[in-house]
Amino acid sequence: MTYQKATLLLLVLLCGRLVFGQERTIKGTITDDNTKTPLAGVTVKIRGSNTATSTNSAGEFAIRAQSNTVTLVVSSVGFSTKEVVVGEGSGNVSISMVNNSQQLGEVVVTALGITRQEKTLVYATQTVKPAELTGVRDANNVLNSLQGKVANAVITQGSGGPGSGARIVNRIRKRD
């Protein structure tokens, strides 16, 4: 390959990077509409892509997006999902979330994930009422609220950060 062809190829690759690689960072703060306090652990996602992030303890987030107009989908447990359109010139956004106090319904979980009515089951079951889950512990994390309410279930929280997982170990005793 000659020097001129190599230079031309390099120039074409660099121009392509400039055209397709224009990204920007959208920063913002998410607060509770009623109390005006920052919300931690709120999920911020760009609609139509797999790009997502969550807010820190101060309610702040930063997400990389293409240079054109994007729609942010903001969601959190206990709040209504909100969509915010961010134009090309905008780099800083302030979003307030509205409380959504819906009650959880009862769920029957079987070993194979098959939903059945409780009276048709031939084995013992336990019921945890929704009010018991939201009344104590962490109202934003249902799994942590189950701790101590289900027999033979050991529930441990992950790293403790927003969005961290929980480990559930259900000890089933075999009858002789």
pLDDT tens digit string along 102-154?
655 555 565 566 666 767 766 677 777 777 766 655 555 666 677 777 777 77
pTM for this predicted structure: 0.50
Domains and CATH numbers, the chain: 3-97 (2.60.40.1120), 118-170 (no CATH)
Instruction: Give the C-alpha separation, 121 to 172, whole Å.
Output: 17
CB-based burial, 75-109: b 16+ in 10 Å, e otherwise: ebeebeebebebeeeeeebebebeeeeeeeeeeee
User: Which phi and psi angles does 156 have, rounded to 5°?
Assistant: -120, 140
For tokens 């079951």, the residue is 125
> How far is Cα of residue 7 from the mean position of the Cα atoms in its chain?
46
pLDDT tens digit string along 59-92?
999 998 887 888 999 998 788 899 998 887 777 8
User: Which phi and psi angles does 25 have, rounded to 5°?
Assistant: -110, 125
